[in-house]
Amino acid sequence: MASPKLNLALNKDAGMIISLAANKMGTSKRNIISLALVEILKNVYDKRFIDSLASDITTTVSTATTISEQVQTKIEYIDRHGYSRRVFFGLLISDYFLNNRDKFRLEQDELEEEMKSKSHIEITIDKATKDKIISYCEKNAMTVSSLFSHYILNEEIKTYAYVISEKAHLNLILSENVKIELKNKAKSTNRTYRFYLNLVAEQIISNIST
């Protein structure tokens, strides 16, 4: 069965932010939108708020993104206050990116081709941690590699240790741009990049558990 699709009417500037974030992370726009939807779906929006977005945000860019069955079920029960799914979620996603541009630390310039090249990194990780992250990504229609890339580039890593109770292997596909940032952050904390990736995994678990 094909994955559900969510049609969206986006603001032009928000669409550009999504494209720039995807370029920086070496991933698809779908994964960037999925990251936003996780945060958006945590909240409830009243009609006054949506009406204010509709009056302030012009949506002229049509696009579509893949979502999971779980997300599809969740959004079906959301009161859209008379707006179509396309416009309602387009407004919310546009608002999210317009207000969170700094979070993604974007550059206007396109990355050079060599910075976009991707390669595999395999790490040893706690099996329960791996399983939780994979389940979370499947539930929210994003790749594990894109989630790690987002945390490496954009999130503060506050964890300092990790425990491996049962060993498992996790294969990540990261762009050269992300790998350079990973190695720089690992070096700045006097850790190997594989150790740092385990700290990233612990931070992900901490954040998705709250």
What per-residue confidence (pLDDT) applies to 118? 87
The residues that bridge with 5 in the sheet, in sequence order, are 66
What per-residue confidence (pLDDT) applies to 113? 66
What per-residue confidence (pLDDT) applies to 202? 97
Q: Are 123 and 198 in contact (CB under 8 A)?
A: yes
- The model's confidence at residue 104, banded by pLDDT at 50, 70 and 90, is confident
Rounded mean pLDDT of the chain? 93
Q: Are 8 and 44 in contact (CB under 8 A)?
A: no
> For the residues 123-135, what does the mean pLDDT come to?
98
Distance between CA 83 and CA 85 in Å, rounded?
A: 6
Residue extents of the structural domains in the chain: 5-104, 114-208
- Interval 106-127: pLDDT, tens: 765 566 666 768 889 999 999 9
What per-residue confidence (pLDDT) applies to 106? 74
The residues that bridge with 121 in the sheet, in sequence order, are 172
The answer on pLDDT for 154 being more than 90 is yes
> For the residues 29-49, what does the mean pLDDT come to?
96
Distance between CA 183 and CA 199 in Å, rounded?
A: 13
What per-residue confidence (pLDDT) applies to 116? 66
Fold of 114-208: Arc Repressor Mutant (1.10.1220)
Residue with structure tokens 């994964």? Answer: 31
- Interval 61-83: pLDDT, tens: 999 999 999 999 999 999 999 99
What per-residue confidence (pLDDT) applies to 107? 66
Angle, CA 54 vertex, CA 50 and CA 57 arms, to 5°:
120
What φ, ψ does residue 23 adopt, rounded to 5°? -60, -45
What per-residue confidence (pLDDT) applies to 117? 80
- Show the tokens assigned to 92: 């919310």
Centroid of chain to Cα 113:
22
Angle, CA 70 vertex, CA 157 and CA 63 arms, to 5°:
80
The answer on pLDDT for 152 being more than 80 is yes
What per-residue confidence (pLDDT) applies to 143? 97
The total of other beta-carbon atoms located within 10 Å of residue 15's CB is 21
What per-residue confidence (pLDDT) applies to 103? 83
> For the residues 180-203, what does the mean pLDDT come to?
96
- Show the tokens assigned to 65: 């993104």
Q: Is 61 exposed, middle or buried (0-12, 13-18, 19+ CB in 10 A)?
A: middle
What per-residue confidence (pLDDT) applies to 172? 98
